[in-house]
A = this chain, B = another copy of it.
Amino acid sequence: MTLINTNEPNFKSVFDELLGRGKMDMEHVSSIVKGLIDEIRSDGDSALMTHIAKFDRWSPSNGAELRIDAADMKRAYEALDPTLKASLHLAYDRIRTYHEKQLPKSWFDTEANGTILGQKVTPVDRAGLYIPGGKAAYPSSLLMNVIPAQVAGVEHIVVTTPTPDNEPNELLLAACHLCGVTEVFKVGGASAIAAMAYGTETIPKVDVITGPGNIFVATAKKMVFGEVNIDMIAGPSEIGVLADDSANPSHIAIDLLSQAEHDEMASSILITPSQKFAEACAAEVEVWLKKLPREEIARKSIDERAAIIVTSSMEEAVKFMNEIAPEHLEVATDNPFALLPSIKHAGAIFLGHYTPEAIGDYVAGPNHTLPTGGTAKFYSPLGVENFMKKSSIISFSRQAINEIGEACALIAHTEGLGAHEASVRCRLDV
């Protein structure tokens, strides 16, 4: 782990490396991904079966075998430990309540001359949710993708998830039943993205694809963008922490590790004006590391990609953190809301000493699908609006077009568009 002060001569190069974190080299996989997509487009289900045999090591004999039986989901749900079941229900309810507050409203406004202008908001017809399989098959990912689509009012929700060796993850099945999704298919990777973007005999074509995934999934999502909408292109997870001496170094250390344990490529970045806190926190990371079940992954991530930066002030710390634009940002100070106005870019902001990032991964309510790698400068968390779209509403009266039609016709004329001009003029009284 790097511990550096902003006044050290090599700070700029260390910081530039942090800014470049999470850049994905899609180029080296793009021809493979394009090949997989082309095969799905031309051969549909039969290509899917071939890809499954190759990547997931089992051979479905027909399209129907790709579908997970609702009875299996129900069985998995009923087999859940009662405390876990209650915890998942608590998560579902809190996530649902938060997302319901996001629901945008259609609106309109009128002018005295008879004009009505507005915006109609409607759900997409079909959403496709990608949920990683195998070790990274997290039921929380399912909740975080399904709930915003449900709140948006999407009628047709499709889930795809890879099932290596044809062994579905029981927790994921249980979560599907809990959420009430019924169209779940055992397909993964770029093939699943292509199948949902273009449709096959078995997998319905959708309008929006969301969900996390590896570099193959991310590259496929980018390639089908335009044919469908997508949520974002996400890379390895990351956390930024702004803290001062009021924070508990042991708590901040385990928070940094909670990202590091995800992935060797994850980034954990603490920026603090206190050299003493920085050093205490670095020491606590070592103490915690030895206790972690995923010590090896976390240690590699911490060794290679974690950084503690000591600044001259909290103001300077915020400035650098805005440049980082982290996926998760903890503000561990006594009065964290005082810093909120100056925080410009972060996927989710966790305020105060009792708000560890992990609380937002599961039960707080807001979505845990967040922009990574600095893309919080322009992407938003996954939300209800990813599953909705808008139509402008325009209605003019005879009086209204007579009042402003001439201006419209003149601009059209100036732009050389005669039919535009005529379509307005023919409706004027003069």
Contacts and interface: CB of A to CB of B under 8 A. Distances in A.
Interface of A: 83-84, 86-88, 90-91, 94, 98, 101-102, 107, 109, 115-117, 119-120, 122, 124-125, 135, 138-140, 171, 207-208, 222, 225-226, 228-229, 233, 250-251, 254-255, 257-258, 260-262, 288, 291-294, 298, 329, 336-337, 340, 343-367, 370-371, 375-381, 383, 385, 389-398, 400-401, 404-408, 410-412, 414-424, 426-427
Nearest to A367: B392
A251 B426 contact: yes
Count this chain's copies in the assembly. 2
A422 B336 CA distance: 23
Given A392-B366, A404-B90, A294 B416 contact: yes
A208 B378 contact: yes
27 contacts: A87-B407, A90-B407, A102-B119, A117-B365, A120-B343, A140-B415, A171-B414, A222-B222, A229-B378, A229-B379, A254-B423, A254-B426, A258-B422, A292-B418, A294-B416, A345-B389, A347-B391, A348-B391, A348-B393, A349-B393, A351-B393, A354-B397, A357-B423, A359-B405, A366-B393, A367-B392, A380-B391
B395 A125 contact: no
Contacts of A393: 340, 348-349, 351, 366
A169 to B, nearest CB: 10
Given A87-B407, A254-B426, 4 more contacts: A88-B411, A254-B423, A354-B400, A358-B421
B377 A207 contact: yes
Q: Is the interface of A mostly helix, strand, loop or mixed?
A: mixed
B420 A258 contact: yes
Contacts of A396: 352, 354-355, 359, 364
